[in-house]
Amino acid sequence: MILIYTKLINPRIKYIFNHIFCNRLGLKIDFTSCKKDFIKYESFKMSYNDNQINDEFYIKPSQILLSSRIKEIEINIENWDGLPVFFTDQKNPFFKFDIFGASFFLISRYEEYLLHLKDDFGRFDPSSSLAYKNRFLKKPIVDFWIERFKLKLLDFYPNMKFKKHSFKLITCLEVPCSYDFKGKGLFRTLGGFLRDVLRLDVYRIYRRVLVLLNLLKDPLDNYHEWININKKNKLETIVFFLMADFSRYDRNLSFYSKIFKEKIKDISDFCEVSLLSSFSSIENKKIIKNEKKRLESVVKMNIIKVRQNLIKVDIPITYRNFASLGFKEDYSLQYYNFPGFRASTSYPFYFFDLENEMETKLLINPVCITDRVLKIYKKPIVARQIIEEITKYVKQINGKMIIVLNNSIISDYSDNFKWKKMFNRFFNSHGKI
């Protein structure tokens, strides 16, 4: 165990110290504000204090963890042997910046509580983020800080033992629409036919007719191919289904569709199934609750994982709602138009509600890549370079790499072929670990 001395023991300090020491480094910790007890302690210890008390490892605290307010903070990025850092203390011989305060700022998404730019959907604009402005969005910088912190601790306490981590690639498939042609009802089907006719899309009309006559499989019905790809490469995968009522941004089949329910049941026999919460549910907890119940009624089990459709995450409201409804894990933390790490870490962490100054039981799983984001680069070969760059960083810190693909990418449409092939090759290269 390592004893931490700090003058103030508050929720922010407990949260980030537990995350770094316990969850990441695998160490047990205890806190004290009594200097006498701290000096008497004869094992590993560290002070989070303006000055070193005795001969212990110490870090000078920044103000962010000593406050319970949410306010603008002046941040100056400096370089410390190749790593961007802030809240620096160049005179400290042990560690050159407040890793706890800086990590808390990024992981808590502190900047999203402040005045910031939003897009047309009301989403946080990544161009407002510290990571984007300072070009470390693709690099899980908090994880690199923790690795350096571990090395510095080892220099001071050579007998200290840490938890071992290994690189892990996890895939997710989001399903905002289960089928392209099947099960959509008379009016949506007629509307689809009319749209295809107006576009003179003969091939799509031809496929639609064959699918509706059960002479051809629906283009989106390639779920078992997805499962087999992941199984072959020994990758953990989750399939997120949208259970919403039809609306402008939620356009799946009706929950009451028999083939829709049968498909969910079928998939749940082979891999984990979870909820893709609707765009319509953003500010209405009752809608999410109903969608959760719908999926649970189909798979006959408690649903504890969730992903927000169209990445409309409004911090802290979205996560506060998820936590209150019994969800244990979220897979929504990413940017809608840039690959990388929204919280600057690849490792899961518990959501800290800054407005209420409390740690929740909702585990946030950072997503770094989606096919929709990568298609901004237009060419699969360019997108593969981006993925490999991020993979290199994640492997350096033995982190977790979560990739989410839309189920349209696994369809057999010709315009998806090169993208599908690229992802399959990537999974084959970095799976099987």
Burial 43-75 (b: 16+ CB within 10 A, else e): ebbbbbbeeeeeebbbbbbbebbeeeeeeebee
More confident residue, 121 or 390: 390
Question: Does position 310 have pLDDT exceeding 80, yes or no?
Answer: yes
CA distance 162 to 267: 39
Name the more confident of 248 and 134.
134
Residue whose tokens read 């047990």: 28
| Alpha carbon distance 261, 300 (integer Å) | 12
Judged against a pLDDT cut of 70, whether residue 334 lies above it is answered with: yes
Choice among 132-136, 234-238, 274-278, 280-284 with the minimum mean pLDDT: 280-284
Tell me the per-residue pLDDT of 407-421, one tens digit each, with 9 for 90 and over.
999 888 878 889 999
pLDDT band at 116 (very low <50, low <70, confident <90, very high): confident
- Give the residue-averaged pLDDT of 75-89: 97
Spell out the residues 6+ positions from residue 65 whose beta carbon is closer than 8 angstroms to its own. 10, 12, 13, 16, 98, 100, 101, 104
Q: Who's near 125: CB < 8 A, 6+ residues apart?
A: 116, 117, 118, 119
68, 357 in Cβ contact below 8 A? Answer: yes
**Would you give the DSSP letter of residue 207?**
H
Contact 304, 365 (CB under 8 A): no
As a whole number of angstroms, the distance between CA 331 and CA 19 comes to 19
Burial class (CB in 10 A: 0-12, 13-18, 19+), 352: buried
pLDDT above 90 as % of the chain: 88
- Over range 365-383, report the average pLDDT: 94
For the chain, percent of residues with pLDDT exceeding 70: 100
Report helix, strand or coil for 416: helix
Token duo for residue 14: 């407990």
Report, as an integer, the average pLDDT of 266-287: 94
Residue 222 has pLDDT above 70, yes or no: yes
Look up residue 178 and give its two tokens: 């289960």
Q: What is the pLDDT of residues 58-73, one digit of tens each?
A: 999 999 999 999 999 9
Distance between CA 59 and CA 61 in Å, rounded?
6
Low-confidence winner among 19-28, 147-156, 247-256, 259-268 (lowest mean pLDDT) = 247-256
pLDDT in tens, 151-174: 999 999 999 999 999 999 999 999
Which amino acid type is present at position 76? N
CA–CA separation, 418 and 423 (whole Å): 9
Burial of 357 (0-12, 13-18, 19+ CB in 10 A): middle
Contact 80, 43 (CB under 8 A): no
* Mean pLDDT (whole number) for 301-311: 96
Average pLDDT estimate for 89-115: 96
- Among 235, 254, 134, residue whose Cα is nearest residue 184: 254
- For residue 280, pLDDT over 80 is answered with yes
pLDDT of residue 432: 75
Mean pLDDT, all residues of the chain:
95
Alpha helix positions (H), 31-98 = 35-40
Cα distances (Å, whole numbers) of residue 398 to 156, 330, 404, 412: 23, 21, 19, 34
- Report the pLDDT value the prediction gives residue 320, as an integer from 0 to 100: 96
Residue 433 pLDDT grade (very low, low, confident, very high; cuts 50, 70, 90): low
16 confidence band (pLDDT: 50, 70, 90): very high
Give the mean pLDDT of 217-245: 96
| Strand, coil or helix: 318 | helix
